[in-house]
Amino acid sequence: MLRALLLSIALALPVLIGVPNTAAADVTVTYVSPEKFHDREFRQVRTWASALAEFDKEFAKLAERYLPAGQDLTVEVLDIDLAGDFELWNFDYRDVRIMRGTTPPRIRLRYTLTEGGKVLKQDEVRLSDMNYLSRPGAAGDTERFAHDKHLVEDWFRKTFKVTAGKRACLESGT
């Protein structure tokens, strides 16, 4: 029993010693006055917290995917206008978000990307996708805030594409 344990440790030791620090990138998301966001979802107390939690998860997932370890991303979300809108005049569907070409997802945010205290990128951007309903697979999306999450993912992919490529090279060992 002891011999098997020592053999396992001996075989695992070179692998453990050779593994670099792979701590994920750190992302901090702050919502600036979400009660003033354009979308009704953020003006209702019962939906506010769960909506922001969805976006927190999305930002964390994308930071892990697109940013290398050691980089920190600070995002201040200034406004969110979710895809679609509630049509209050339509009594049968007043609590259903109706998707139309005239109601695209819109997000305004300010971000700072740092590494070791040095600012790599910093900007304030307005994100929007007028063709959100034409995206492949858009009609079948049943995930909550799917169009809005795709908008954020597109921004991540375009903004941090260089670091995403570096990360892929690092992970593949080339």
Indicate whether 104 pLDDT > 60: yes
User: Residue type for 92, please?
Assistant: D
Instruction: Answer yes or no: is 49 within a domain.
Output: yes
Enclosing domain of residue 100: 20-172
Q: Is residue 106 part of a domain?
A: yes
Question: What is residue 13's predicted lDDT score, i.e. its pLDDT?
Answer: 34
pLDDT of residue 38: 86
40 or 159, which is more confident: 159
Task: List strand residue ranges (DSSP E) for the chain, in order.
Answer: 26-31, 71-81, 85-86, 97-98, 106-115, 118-128
H-assigned helices in 19-145: 45-66
Res 109 pLDDT > 90: yes
Inside any domain, residue 8: no
Q: Which of 33-47, 97-111, 128-142, 156-170 has the highest mean pLDDT?
A: 97-111
Answer whether residue 110 shows pLDDT above 80: yes
**Domain-embedded: residue 112:** yes
Does residue 13 lie within any of the structural domains?
Answer: no
- Kindly state whether residue 101 falls inside one of the protein's structural domains: yes
Q: Given this model, what pLDDT does residue 139 score? A: 66
The pair phi, psi for residue 124, each rounded to 5°, is -115, 125
Residue 118 has pLDDT above 90, yes or no: yes
Domain count, the chain: 1
